[in-house]
Amino acid sequence: MKQLYDVLIIGGGVIGSAIAREMSRYRLKIGVLEKNLDVCCETSGRNSGVVHGGFAYNTDSLKAKLCVEGNKIMGQLSEELDFAFQRCGKVLVGNTPEDQESLERTMKQGKANGVSGMELIGKERLHELVPAVIGEFAMYSAESGIVDPFGYTIALAENAAENGVDYFFDNEVTAIERDADSNYVITTSAGTFYSRWVVNSAGLGCGKISELLGIGGYKIIGSKGDYIILDKRTGPLLPMPVYPVPSNTYMGIHVTNTTDGNVIVGPNADLTDNFTYYGVSQENMDYLSSSASDLWPCIHKKDYIRNYSGILPKWVDENGAIQDFKIEVQDLKAPRAINLIGIESPGLTAAVPIARYAVGLMAEREKLTLNSSFNPIRKGVVRFAELSKEEQNLKILENPEYGEVICRCETVTKAEILQAIHNPLGVDTMTGIKYRTRSMMGRCQGGYCQMRIAQLLEQELGKKEDQIQYARKGSQMFFGKVRQEVES
Amino acid sequence: MNAQLKEIQVEQVDVVIIGGGPAGLAAAAELYRRGIRNLLIIEREKQLGGILRQCIHDGFGLTRFQTALSGPEYAQRFIDTIEELNIPYITDATVLEVTHERQVTAVTREGMRTWQAKAVILTMGCRERTRGAIGIPGERPTGVLTAGVAQAYMNLFNTMPAKEVVILGSGDIGMIMARRFTLEGAHVNAVFEIQPYPSGLPRNIEQCLNDYDIPLHLSHGITAIHGNTRLTGVTVSKVDENLKPIPGTEKEYQCDTLILSVGLIPENELSLDAGVILDERTRGALVDENFQTAAEGIFAAGNVLHVHDLVDFVSIEAESLADSVAKYVIEGSLKPAAISINTDCNIGYTVPQRVSGEKEFTLSLRVKRPMKDCRIVVRQAGKEVAVKKMKKAIPAEMIRFVISHEKLVSGSDLEVCVEC
């Protein structure tokens, strides 16, 4: 029997997952269609992890309004959903009179946008805040912060799932039609789904899904940024993100501390129409390092542990000018379809306000009934490494699996790996475990633990060696056994 | 929960040895023979033996035992001794912290355990340099892994990680894996080495590459990695004398696996937190001839101190620190080492880096590039105090020789240089 959903959400990134969670506050049957094998495989997981203040966006834009709201509620969200967030502040560092003017303009815009906690500070105060920085003065934004983008997206998705939302991974949408009852019929790479409402939160795929919905004309370009991750030993040298003075369209290459104590360097911003290429060139790595060293001279190759890149979907007009977020329902072209276009930075900060805005568009069109059993609280995998010795001891006495360290660099125990393997979304990839526990993210990059985790994944989920996928579909890790075991 | 269980008891012990690999086992047995009985080896794996457990090829023990053994056989000789002497050890125990005051805390399945030791010996070995650490450009598919990880998958987990292979780096493990892959039905296209000379031992080039017709291309680097799911290929370029890729020399290789054998890094995370000072060159501790680090009562030996090419020298080095550690445990201090050992530009590093001058010691060093018919000279205040003549000196082979203290004087540093 075919299942008719009230809402199907296309795209399980931070926006799709926030919408899923916010909609699960109401009595609705909700599903999420995600083409990848986990949430946050694209833009949501591939960024700086900065919680923006909201001063960098034009006053009256959705970007400004929703970012400011998102910043305000991030602390409460992180408590409800158990993800890492630190309101550590950030500085925009300047050296010239032009920089000074630009920062004053930014402050003014920030005030108009409703941002609090901004001040212009001199060299002395700047060096008190970030001793290692190079610069004459700065704008300090006390309300800015950092978030674990994986933890945040996973938390939203798991909370949605715990409140009854169905997640369908490995389902790439290929066609959208409407049947005789005017319900949406969505064809994916894995099957057919039916729904009264559709949400396009497809991120990099938003232009394509919008066209499938019958709303053409949105031009989406990718802005690709590369990053270098530095060893945790560098973390104490960077208590908050350090940015250059921003231009209108681009934040500039910055250095950012992470909630786990690493430092990330980047991004550049290269326009691209290839939304699946995440390679990083030598030229860009060299450029990132030399450019960011002008702000923070602590970048040394011996501390490199990994590089990565991400692509922001930018909606541009015919002249290439970057547009605001678009969150709309076009009742004539595609009734009961919430269309989100160009959700780029500050989408991570603004995700929940964006979701509430989207729910608002739905509530204007039909009456929503509160789901009285909605539970906003979600608990993630316990972080053994963050407990005191006494707490660690108690955990082990409760469950000896906490007494077995699998990932040495990040001190992740077998108990945590097992919790991640049996995650509420049913994700069964290696990166699924990585993003939920921090295993394989340390300086040896899985040299010690990856094989143990692969073995646990095989044992716990009854998989064969050649069924273990690293991250994406097709990212097979093994080609079977070396030698077949002979039964005696 | 019983209140007593919540308290973590501190156990008293003379010596804690962190790591039950070749260095830790050798140090433990020698300490026992010198009368130190209240000692403990802490091993994170389920069994003793360390990395040797996955080194199923032979060639171990030629120096230490005058016979060719496999890695597990070599380790077993030491494990048998540990068992015969009833030397205490625990496995499945991961040390989380070593303090400057020599308090050691480990995670075990029975709970957190803490020991107060009179002396600590660091024998944690090393880890492999990864793709991220050397910053190879390109995409990030699966199928890019270090040689030791591939070796563990095949030899410990019976799991085949490759079919069509390219190897970057001519380190010994990379060459040994080239042979291992070939024997298990994978195809190894070639080994590329960015330096103009191989980084592994000549015997491995002969036995692991030449015997299997696997080409070794010197002065070549990987300049791009392709594939967004599994690796589909790599771009290889020739490099100039500054190790920079030469435009126009790019060549594409189709492969599903890129094996990296690009160096080992001593695993010193615990040491740093204990206040041990590292040598930028070895990335191991700065030590004196007693193998004592900058943190008093904390000693180091084996690959955690500097990366060795042969396990035999790891064992010998670890055995040689037992005298000093035993003396330290009994007397509570050792003679200070005030004489620094400095090197010229042809020498990569030395171990030790400083000595007291009152005791014979073994100097270990590596040259920076291959050299022929040279003399390694140790001088103090312009005077030759030791010389070693070398027909051939290569970076892959550690050079060791004994220096007598009889010619040494106090108050003046030692200079080590290569003369051709």
Cα distance from B321 to chain A (closest Cα, Å)?
A: 27
Compute CA distances A193 → A2, A177, A184, whole Å.
8, 11, 8
Give how far the C-alpha of residue B126 lies from the chain's centroid of Cα atoms, to the nearest Å. 5
Sheet holding B383-393, edge to edge: B354-355, B339-343, B414-419, B371-380, B383-393
Contact B34, B326 (CB under 8 A): yes
The C-alpha atoms of residue B176 and residue B156 are separated, in whole angstroms, by 16
* Catalytic residue selected from A52, A127, A300, A422: A52
Tell me whether residues A405 and B154 touch, CB distance under 8 A. no
Query: pLDDT (tens digit, 9 = 90+) per residue, B10-37?
Result: 999 999 999 999 999 999 999 999 999 9
* B107:A476 CB<8 A: no
pLDDT digits (tens, 9 = 90+) for B335-346: 999 999 999 999
Distance between CA atoms of B13 and B28, rounded to whole angstroms? 13
Work out the minimum CA distance from A304 to partner chain B, whole angstroms: 5
First to last CA, chain A: 48
What pLDDT does residue B1 have? 45
Q: How many Cβ atoms are within 10 Å of A379's Cβ, its own excluded?
A: 12
User: Would residue A54 be called left, alpha or beta, if left means φ above 0 and alpha means ψ between -120 and 50 degrees?
Assistant: left
The C-alpha torsion from B302 through B308 and B311 to B317, rounded to 10°, is -40
CB pairs under 8 A between A and B: 156
Res A251: pLDDT: 75
Pairing between β-strand B94-98 and β-strand B103-108 as defined by DSSP bridges: antiparallel
| Cβ contacts of A37 on chain B, cutoff 8 Å | none
pLDDT for the residue B5: 53
Residues of chain B with Cβ-Cβ distance to A472 below 8 Å are 228-229
Is it the case that residue B2 has pLDDT exceeding 60? Answer: no
Q: Which 3 state secondary structure label does DSSP give B385?
A: strand
Q: For B342-349, which contacts have Cβ atoms below 8 Å and span 24 or more sequence positions?
A: B342/B413, B342/B414, B342/B415, B342/B416, B343/B415, B343/B416, B343/B417, B344/B415, B344/B416, B344/B417, B344/B418, B346/B371, B346/B417, B346/B418, B347/B416, B347/B417, B347/B418, B348/B281, B348/B395, B349/B279, B349/B281, B349/B282, B349/B306
Cβ distance B94 to A280 less than 8 Å, yes or no, reads: no
- A475 contacts B141? CB cut-off 8 A: yes
> How many CB atoms are closer than 10 A to CB A263?
26
Residue to test with chain A: of B107, B244, B283, most A Cβ within 10 A: B107
Flag if B44 and A408 touch (Cβ within 8 Å).
Answer: yes
Write out the H or E segment, with its range, that includes residue B339.
strand B339-343
User: Could you list the mean pLDDT of each consecutive 10-residue stretch along chain A, which spans 488 residues?
Assistant: 92 98 98 97 96 96 98 98 98 96 96 97 97 97 98 98 98 97 97 98 98 97 97 96 83 93 96 96 95 95 94 96 97 97 98 98 98 97 95 96 96 98 97 97 92 97 96 96 82
Q: What is the pLDDT of residue A252?
A: 85
Closest CA to B384 of B354, B356, B419: B419
Q: Which of B108, B139, B230 sits opposite A278 (nearest CB)?
A: B139
In terms of DSSP H, where are the helices of A163-242? 206-212
For testing contact with chain A, the best of B157, B182, B234 (most A CBs within 10 A): B157
Chain A: give the shortest CA distance to residue B125, in Å.
12
Written as six digits, the tokens of B102 are 């020599």
Average of per-residue pLDDT across B378-398 = 94
Are B241 and B197 in contact by the 8 Å Cβ rule? The answer is no
Structural element, H or E, at residue A140? strand A137-141
CA distance B357 to B336: 10
Q: Give me A33's structure tokens.
A: 């269609």
Would the CB atoms of B159 and A451 count as touching at under 8 Å? yes
Nearest to A282 among B94, B127, B137 (CB): B137
Residue B354 has pLDDT above 90, yes or no: yes
- In the DSSP assignment, the letter for residue B209 is I
pLDDT, tens digit (0-9, with 9 covering 90-100), for B291-309: 999 999 999 999 999 999 9
Residues B159, A279: C-beta atoms closer than 8 Å: no
Can you spell out the DSSP letters for A291-335?
Answer: HHHTT-----GGGEEEEEEEEEEEEE-TT-PBPPPEEEE-TTTST
Residues from chain A that touch B158, judged by Cβ atoms under 8 A, are 481-483, 485
Output the six-digit token pair for A53.
């203040």
**Is A52 an active-site residue?**
yes
CA distance B291 to B285: 9
Write the pLDDT tens digit of every residue in B234-250: 999 999 999 999 999 99
Q: Is A196 helix (H, G, I), strand (E, B) or coil?
A: strand
pLDDT of B3 reads 47
A280 to B269: CB separation less than 8 angstroms, yes or no? no
Of B154, B161, B272, the CB nearest to A477: B161
pTM equals 0.95
Which residues in chain B touch residue A476, judged by CB atoms under 8 angstroms apart?
142, 229-230
Specify whether the CB–CB gap between A249 and A225 falls below 8 A.
Answer: no
**DSSP, residue by residue, A381-424:** ---GGGS-HHHHHHHHHH-GGGGSEEETTTTEEHHHHHHHHT-T
Per CB-CB distance under 8 Å, the chain A contacts of B127 are: 443-444, 447-448
Comparing CB atoms, the residue among B110, B138, B228 nearest residue A472 is B228
Eight-class DSSP state of B282: T
User: Which residues of A are less than 8 Å from B157 in CB distance?
Assistant: 451, 454-455
The DSSP call for residue A455 is H
Identify the residue whose tokens are 């369209």. Answer: A249
Whether residues B6 and A403 touch (CB distance < 8 A) is answered with no
How far does A474 lie from chain B, in Å, by closest CA? 5
Distance CA A157, CA A149 (A): 12
Cα A185 to its chain centre, rounded Å, is 29
Give the model's pLDDT for residue A488.
Answer: 61
B143 chain-A contacts, CB cut-off 8 A:
477
User: What is the distance between the alpha carbons of residues A316 and A220, in angstroms, rounded to a whole number?
Assistant: 6
Under 8 Å CB-to-CB from B18, ≥6 apart: which residues? Answer: B24, B42, B95, B98, B104, B120, B121, B122, B123, B124, B270
Write the pLDDT tens digit of every residue in B132-158.
889 999 999 999 999 999 999 999 999
User: How far apart are alpha carbons A185 and A8 in whole angstroms?
Assistant: 10
Chain A partners within 8 Å of B107 (Cβ) = 392, 396, 402-405, 411, 413
- A413, B107: Cβ pair inside 8 Å? yes
Cβ of A455 within 8 Å of Cβ of B157? The answer is yes
Strand partners, A1: none
Tell me phi and psi for residue A25, to 5 degrees.
Answer: -70, -15
Place of tokens 């660091």: B122
Q: Which residue of A has its CA nearest to B260?
A: A447
| CA closest to A302 among chain B residues | B133
pLDDT score, position A249: 63
Query: What does the alpha-carbon distance between residue B226 and residue B229 come to, in Å, rounded to a whole number?
Result: 9
B135 vs A285: CB contact, 8 Å cut-off? Answer: yes
CA A413 – CA A84 distance, rounded (Å): 19
ipTM of the complex: 0.94
Over residues B197-213, the pLDDT tens digits come to 999 999 999 999 999 99
CA torsion B301→B304→B307→B309, rounded to 10°? 60
* Closest by CA position to B15, among listed B282, B263, B297, B265: B297
